[in-house]
Amino acid sequence: MIKTKKILRHTSGNSAPLTLAIVLVVIILSCTVFEYMRLMVIASGVRDAVQSAMIDVATENWDDAYNGLREGYSGGYTLSGTDWVVKLDIGDVYSRLESTLGVKTESGKFVKYTGPDVEYTLSDLTVSMQNAPLAPTNTGDISQLSATGTVDVEVPLSFGWRHLPPLKITMKLKGGFTPKF
From first to last of the 181 residues of the chain, give the pLDDT tens digit. Answer: 777 777 667 666 677 777 888 999 999 999 889 988 988 899 899 888 888 887 777 777 666 555 545 444 456 666 677 776 777 666 677 778 888 888 888 888 889 988 888 888 998 888 887 776 666 666 566 566 777 888 899 988 877 666 778 889 898 887 766 655 5
Whole-angstrom distance, CA of residue 134 vs CA of residue 67: 13
With contact defined as beta carbons under 8 Å apart, do 119 and 42 qualify? Answer: yes
Alpha-carbon distance of 73 to 67, in angstroms, equals 10
> With contact defined as beta carbons under 8 Å apart, do 157 and 164 qualify?
yes
Residue 51, pLDDT score:
84
Looking at residue 53, what is its pLDDT? 81
Helix (H) or strand (E) holding 64: helix 62-65
What's the CA gap between 58 and 23, in Å, rounded?
Answer: 52
Domain boundaries, the chain: 16-176
**CA–CA distance, 103 with 105 (Å, rounded to integer):** 7
Do 111 and 98 meet the contact criterion of CB atoms below 8 Å apart?
no
Distance CA 158, CA 45 (A): 18
pLDDT given at position 135: 62
Task: Supply the pTM of this predicted model.
Answer: 0.68
Contact (Cβ atoms closer than 8 angstroms) between residue 150 and residue 163: no
What percent helix, strand, coil does the chain show, rounded to 5?
Answer: 40, 30, 35
